[in-house]
Chains A and B, each alone.
Chain A
Amino acid sequence: ACGTDDSEPAADAETTGDEQAQDGAQGGDLVIAQLSDAVSLDPHGSNDTPSSNVAYNIYESLLVTDENMELQPGLATEWEAVDDLTWQFTLREDVTFHDGSEFNADVVKANFDRILDEDIASPRSFLYEMVEEINVVDDYTIEFVTEYPFSPLPAHISHNGGGIMSAEIIEEDYAALEDGEEPGSVINQNPVGTGPFVFESWTSGEEIVLTKNEEYWGGAPALDSVTFRVVPEGATRLADLETGAVHVSDPISPSDISRVEGTDGIRVNQQPSVSLSYIGFNAEKEPFNDKLVRQALSLAIDKDQIINGIYQGIGIPAIGPLAPDVFGYDEDVSGLGYDVEEAKALLAEAGYEDGFSTTLWTNDNQDRIDIATNVQAQLQEIGVDVEIEIVEWGAYLENTAAGEHDMFILGWTTVTGDADYGMYPMFHSANFGTPGNRTFFATDELDSLLEEARQNPNQDERQELYSQAQEILVDEAPMSYIHHSEFLLGVSEDVEGLWHHPTGIMMLKDVSLNQ
């Protein structure tokens, strides 16, 4: 069902490339101001957005997702489930790496072997932990055998963590590992992929420069080069954008929208994301072990006020955990809504007529602190006395994983675009703590629904299972789902063809600069 004709998009890409070459909107250095520096250009060795943003242009995955989170061919032209446990991918044949080496099934196997290698301890390995075996069928066909039936595998394959790098640097990197270097140290210095841009230089903490890949199989990009520059302060990024020092400011804050819109030559680029922000309740602790209390609190929080008050209207109010673009999202599930009276009634029913006192944790992220401040005031109205505690990120992760919290604010991004990734880690009983379930909420019913859904090969049936799961999650309210944020970029009018992927990655292949 997912397979599409391989030749078409490739042909498209080539023609567009050619046209652009003739248009004259060629060349130029696109400068992007980013909040923070990439951590690692080893696609197996990082999972932060700045790294992905850069890596996405150097490496390619077998599959990609489009702006609607639909799977599209990448380095693989076709994919199909051979049986419950086996997925087969047909690879593109005319691809070479930046170092001139050839792309084929052996390279793909080497890549996935590396991700799954325990010595590498790749932070991406969880994406493929169900993969048991990788078989090279022939030069351009490869087979993934999973431990148990796992239907979202193509979605996981599409993740940029599955970016393919040259077999040679993998070997070099292993050699360095033998010499006592950290894994990825070679790849980091000299990343080699098949993507539209070639790594040029990286000044740690300052900037990364990529140049165009003239030999790109999809046609050379219009830009000569791309520079990712680190500008941590929002106001400064904006100033840089206004003065033309950079072309893209990633991100801008909602309060800056009016300023950007009011300035000539720059515009706002808005893109709904597949992320969720939520306030979790520790379901193992009193009084949050009581469904009524959780519901009451959810009911008492006006999400619109948060979105309008804090995000200046940017973002989509969340009903359940999944964003609309994610596969498995059910628009018919209705949320608890906002109803203070109902909330009071439920609290009374649960035995807390006079409310109670509790704490709300947030990490030191200004948006989250603002949400906490707002929620505190809102909950005051139903008599719940909330004390806000800011906890520094490292401690926050550790202490929430250990279940020391009452209520907490956190987010989640369904990077694969598939509901499995959006729900299984967060709500399955197997994932208490660090793997993602920090509300410690689980029911047997939900557990089995989520298990079944990830194994069922039929997408329609899966959709149905996820609908049920969402119903349960809304009703049980292990968390108050706040909103799905929207990415905001400040972009110069000179920039054409830029789009933003719902996972937060900027797509630069087709960008051109008018100067």
Chain B
Amino acid sequence: MTEKLLQVENLKISFDTGESLTEVVSDVSFEISHGQTLGIVGESGSGKSVSARSIMQLLDKNAVVDKRSSIRFNGEEITEKSEKEMRKIRGKDIGMIFQDPMTSLNPTMKIGRQISESILIHEEVSKKEAAVRSKEIMHLVGIPDVDERYEQYPHELSGGMRQRIVIAIALACSPKLLIADEPTTALDVTIQAQILELLQEIQEKTGTSILLITHDFGVVANMCENIVVMNQGRVVEAGTTKEIFSHPKEDYTKRLLAAIPNLHEEKTAEAKAKLMKIYSGTQEKILEVNGLAKHFPLGRKATLKAVDDISFEIYRGETLGLVGESGSGKSTTGRAILRLHEPTYGETIFNGLDINKFKRRQMKNMRKKVQFVFQDPYSSLNPRKKVEDIIGEALDIHKLAKSKLKRKQRVEELLDLVGLDRSFSQRFPHEFSGGQRQRIGIARALAVEPDFIVLDEPLSALDASVQAQIVDLLEDLQRKLNLTYLFIAHDLATVKKISDRVAVMYKGNIVELSDSEELFENPVHNYTKKLLSAIPVPDPHYEATGGHISPDEEEEISIDGQKLTEIRPNHWVLQ
């Protein structure tokens, strides 16, 4: 018996793109022992997900795995296994969390069923038992109101909840190896902490090994003993986490580590000046949200107040960060502002006019000025359009390209801006990595040169260096064109860095709103405090202290009947 649970050697994978084979994974080798956690970090598009999928033998049809590649699991060669044999391993021995939570869930199957199915296949339990266990797992991954959620369909959940469902599915049968492909990107830090803790607990209990693909160095530092760094389809560096964090050898690794945003960075003078202008009231308001609410019917009679009567304003040229618990209504707020979801009630005053009263024509003009970057990049891209047309469409709609050639040039320019290869313009959405898709979404939003962009988790699938690049881009554009952003994110360090002011959402309400420095230094609301305390530190030497709140002891933070009040100048808290 070999000691290692998984041994990947000389993995080489290419895609048949029609004309030629494009090699995306070259000679990748790594291994994981029992009970160990291996982190894979690396550039977006460097082949992490493809490598992970190949372990499950679930690659796209046009993928070609080189004959000499070897993947040994538990001493057995996986590449030689038949589909039927693989089926016994999948789910039971190897669980997989796919990167894209929305498209990974069956849209026509109830959440609960999707989880319990896994249990029913691999274990001999009754349906009832399976349901009970599924609900337990859902509770463990931090899904609230388990009984109701159990009966819901994927589209009724927030991005973070979907991700937790995907995690729950993978964990359902306590696999020997868990492949987690960016499992926490859509989660706020408290829940992320909770999930990570859960993983560790499971690992301790059952000796599960974890292959963790992530961009979040905080997570890596907390979770992994060893890491593999990938760039352009190759492993550029591998070793223990501590070693690589402290003594990175390769250039790429160094760059990556350097790009990690620092929570304690001071604001620049320029940013401070902007804040002053806002606070002094000299900056004009671009958007004013008054008592906006969005309720969803939830089963019989009951309604879900996804956004419950919120008010705030955004000033021209500023970035308002919107953070909060997963499922607290951030995306819904964004959608309601743009009338992608018709708000239940409330006003959205944009440039002095209430959008909710707009007619068709006015709406169209407004759409040129306001853009949205969707949280779930994959499903927001038409699968039958090439990237060129996806981005180009924005230009067509608002007649921004004079000629076909101009259009093409502009599209390529935009691809350059977001760090994608120009040749990608001829590809279809499914041929991209998660991070690449996300950047396509950003490029599309930027195409029309809007005044105001709602960015819903625009960076979650990007590695630190690309993230930094995009953040720079956004700030640059803001400076030049006086753009305004509503920036929804879970990565608080980035939020802090990019935002002028930050709003914290909790259960459909804004519980705290202030400038970022103030908010991060002096949080007042209980939820804000809880959130900030959960931020993972990207340093393996900083031992996790166990100060995290485990799901069971989580106490409800009540916000009933409270009002947003200014407790300090320009610092509003729900009380």
Determine whether A and B are in direct contact in the complex, meaning some CB atoms lie less than 8 angstroms apart.
Answer: no
Interface residues of B (CB under 8 A from A): none
Interface residues of A (CB under 8 A from B): none
